[in-house]
Amino acid sequence: MSIITIERKVLQKNDEVARRNRALFFSHGTFAINLVSSPGSGKTSILERTLQQLKGELKVAVIEGDIQTDLDARRIASLGAPVVQIVTNGSCHLEAKLVEDALSNLDLAQVQLLIIENVGNLVCPANYDLGEAVKVVVASTTEGDDKPLKYPAMFRNATVLMINKIDLLPYVDCNLEQLRKNALSINPGLTIFETSCVTKEGLEGWCAWLRSKMIFVGRS
Amino acid sequence: MHELALAQNIVETIHRAVPPETRKNVRVVRLQVGAMAGVVPDSLEFSFNALVAKTPLSRVRMEIESIPFVVECEACGRISGNDVGISRCLECGSGKTRIRSGTELQVVNLELEDFQEEAV
């Protein structure tokens, strides 16, 4: 028997493309966000509210990842933001190469903030670096307070947690403090926002955080 | 279920490392998979076996070394492991911890049966 040493990450190829994407974002001063969550937690609604809130202030573009349909891209396009739809045709996550291909349809020189909405899935997207500056994970109150414990990889890799649908707290079995505690036990460094896309509560704090990142990109 | 995509990456890794004429001699692919890598080892093995069936790599067995999740506390220095992915120090409660292991997902090496000239 002979041994061939490999010592190579399984996703090294993806990571190399992600590095290229990251370098491209950096050279254009684009702050890129990888927005992840389970299906139905409100990613697209958060996007819509964010675009409305930042309109005329920041140049925002969106990459929409979905398994099927361009319904989300149409929602975003109706708000006047540049949007590229990636249809994964069954694949449960976005990969760096899909994002790289999508970027050829965007003029990054005109984009300060790029939001990549991943496929709704709390498992698979955790493994795939897309070249983003930060992962933002959304957990809605209707999902209960134990999501961070059930899907630790996703919450560990995220920089920001958005607890969405807080307007529904009186009606659902979700302890907000417990949800925060669970998330911080997995990832003590998480920045947490509590939001509602219906009442718009908490969205200003989130947008202020985004603005602060623009300053960072501009200076770097 | 992204294990199929991961298995495809592993097949490509073997293809990069081993020339076509030698691939039928590969017997083992060794992996390290962290407890918190977000990968189900059984699914990965199943996907890999499905991909290599009826190819020169069909006799390759996947061996997975599971790496425990271990964090080191920068406040109290305690090194501790848990199987649920909690990064906060369970001793002093500090959030200033460093993950020492448990997120790996890599191909370590391949084992090949020594090449023998086949009788013609």
pLDDT at A220 over 50: no
Q: State how beta strands B61-67 and B26-34 pair.
A: parallel
Confidence at residue A1, expressed as pLDDT on a 0 to 100 scale: 87
Interface test with B, best of A10, A121, A184 (most B CBs within 10 A): A10
- Option in B13, B18, B95 nearest A184 (CB): B95
Residue in B with minimal Cα distance to A94: B2
CA distance A30 to A48: 19
Task: Name the packing angle between helices A96-103 and A12-28 (round to 10°).
Answer: 30
Which tokens hold the place of A90? Answer: 């069954």
Q: How many CB atoms lie within 10 A of CB B119?
A: 4
pLDDT in tens, A121-130: 999 999 999 9
Confidence grade of residue B118 (pLDDT, cut at 50, 70, 90): low
The whole-angstrom separation of Cα A207 and Cα B84 is 33
What is the per-residue pLDDT for A219?
42
Residue B114 has a pLDDT of: 85
How high is the pLDDT of residue A89? Answer: 86
ipTM of the complex model: 0.87
Q: What is the pLDDT of residue A91?
A: 86
Contact A49, A197 (CB under 8 A): yes
Q: Confidence band (pLDDT; 50, 70, 90) for A218? A: very low
pLDDT tens per residue, range A171-205: 999 999 999 999 999 999 999 999 999 999 999 99
Give the span between the Cα atoms of A38 and A43, in whole angstroms: 9
Calculate mean pLDDT across residues A9-31: 97
Please indicate whether, in this complex, the C-beta atoms of B114 and A123 are within 8 angstroms of each other: no
CA of B46, closest CA in chain A: separation in Å? Answer: 16
**Whole-prediction pTM:** 0.92
What tokens were used for A193? 């926002």
Give Cα separations from A84 to A103, A135, A170, B49 (angstroms): 8, 19, 37, 36
Q: Do B106 and A7 count as a contact with CB atoms less than 8 A apart?
A: yes
